Amino acid sequence: MNDVAWAELSNSLIYSAIAVYALAFLGYCAFAAGRSTTPAPLPEMSVAAGAAGTAPYPEEAIPSGEPTPAGRTQFLGAAAISLTTLAFGLHAASIASRGIAAGRAPWGNMYEFVLVCSLAAAGAFLATVRRRPIQALGVWVSALVLIALGLAVTVLYTPAGALVPVLNSYWLVIHVAAAMIGGGVFTVGFIATTAFLVRTRLDRRGRRTGMLPSTETLGQVAHAAHMFAFPVWTFAVIAGAIWAENSWGRYWGWDPKETWAFITWVLYAAYLHAQATAGWRGVKASWFAIAGYAAFVFNFFGVNMWITGLHSYAGV
């Protein structure tokens, strides 16, 4: 196959991935609707610290002989996860074939960043959902991935090609890969944190909802995601500094992109501290995670589009 064929394959694969994510999204919607209408509240796993890993899906305990509503809901959840896994595979294959077409690591422009970052988000979700009962977050994860990919193929699309010379650096490959993986996992952290805040509010008002996992589960998933993503992001910032040193002799120049990476980092550090501060843990701390994510997203879109700096792909 030649480069053009690989590039075309990559494009077909991403459209297929979008289609399958969309099906998964519908599955999650049906799952969430099913949970919220199932008469008896589903037993939430009592996720005690020591019991983690004993029964990943307590709902499975529901007898599944005749098709009870709960059983059907369960089936929908599992189907949606399988679809997400399939879409994830297509998505990954699309990125890989783009790499082959361009003859380089496939993260060199905005289109490719969005692809890789949303892949990391989907991957982080799939990895977490194997351990924690958070299928209900699938609606939001698949919706965000769909929005990201939709933007990518419509607004940001760039044909596969080589890179401008300054981007041709080994450290850059590492830097961007780490930033996108960190960003993907932060996305899952953001979704879990938002759901945590929503669920906390609903619980306070005494409203029962099966649409969202318990605050306990959400809190733990959010914290775990941030704990994973924060060092990855730290590494991305350091690798970026090394690249900058290599390419213009200044490892830190307060370029807008660097500044916002710093702001993101500091806000997440504030989040981790707040989580360890009496009186701030939980709801208050969560707002720092949300602010951190907002800074990350602004850096990704806002800085690239509205503020010019030395980062050469800035023209999209």
Partner 1 sequence: MRTAVVLLALVAAAAIPGSLLPQRNVASDPSAVASFYAENPGLAPWLDRFQLFDVYASAWFASIYLLLLVSMVGCVLPRSARLWRSVRSAPPAAPRHLGRMDRYVAWTSDVPSDEVVARAEATVRGLGYRVEVAGTEVRGERGYLREVGNLMFHLSLLVLLVGVGAGRLFGFEGRVALVEGASFTNLRSQYDAFTPSVWTDVDGLEPFSFTLDDFDATFESGSVDAGAPRSFLADLTVTREGSDPETVQVRPNDPLDVNETKAFLTGHGYAPKVTVTDGEGNVAYSGPVMFLPLDQTYTSEGVVKVPDAVPTQLGFEGLFLPTGVIDDLGPRSVFPDDLNPLLVLTAFTGDLQMDDGAAQSVFTLDKGGMKQARGADGEPFKRALAVGETMRLPGGEGTLRFDGVARFANFQIAYDPGKEISLVAGVLLLVGLTASLAIRRRHLWVRVGPTGEVEVAARSVTRRPLPAGEVDRLLTALDAPRHTSSPTPTPEKETL
Residue (69 or 159) nearer to partner 1, CB: 159
Residue (277 or 308) nearer to ligand HEM, CB: 277
Choosing from 23, 62, 242, 269, the residue that interacts with ligand HEM (CB under 6 A) is: 269
Query: Per-residue string for binding with partner 1, 226-245, x by CB under 8 A?
Result: -x--xx--xx--x--xxx-x
- Between CA 195 and CA 78 the distance in angstroms is 20
Residue (108 or 123) nearer to partner 1, CB: 108
Per CB under 8 A, 253 contacts partner 1: yes
Please report, as a single letter, which amino acid is at residue 138: G
270 binds, among ligand HEM, partner 1, none (CB under 5 to 8 A by kind): partner 1
Per CB under 6 A, 49 contacts ligand HEM: no
The answer to whether 36 and 211 have CB atoms below 8 angstroms apart is yes
Choosing from 84, 275, 286, 304, the residue that interacts with partner 1 (CB under 8 A) is: 275
Residue (212 or 237) nearer to ligand HEM, CB: 237
Per CB under 8 A, 206 contacts partner 1: no
Shortest approach of partner 1 to residue 2 CB, angstroms? 13
Residue (59 or 255) nearer to partner 1, CB: 255
Task: Please report the DSSP string for the chain in residue order.
Answer: --HHHHHHHHHHHHHHHHHHHHHHHHHHHHHHHHHHH-SSPPPPP---GGGTTS-S-GGGGS--SS--HHHHHHHHHHHHHHHHHHHHHHHHHHHHHHHHHHTS-S-SSHHHHHHHHHHHHHHHHHHHHTTS--GGGHHHHHHHHHHHHHHIIIII---S----GGG--HHHHHHHHHHHHHHHHHHHHHHHHHHHHHHHHHHHTT---SSS--HHHHHHHHHHHHHHHHHHHHHHHHHHHHHHHHHHS-S----HHHHHHHHHHHHHHHHHHHHTSTTTTTHHHHHHHHHHHHHHHIIIIIIHHH---S-GGGG-
Choosing from 41, 43, 103, 159, the residue that interacts with partner 1 (CB under 8 A) is: 159
Residue (77 or 256) nearer to partner 1, CB: 256
63 binds, among ligand HEM, partner 1, none (CB under 5 to 8 A by kind): none
Per CB under 6 A, 231 contacts ligand HEM: no
Per CB under 6 A, 277 contacts ligand HEM: no
Binding site for partner 1 (CB under 8 A): 46, 48-54, 159-162, 164-166, 168-169, 220, 223, 227, 230-231, 234-235, 238, 241-243, 245-256, 259-260, 262-263, 266-267, 269-270, 273-281, 288, 291, 295, 303, 307-310
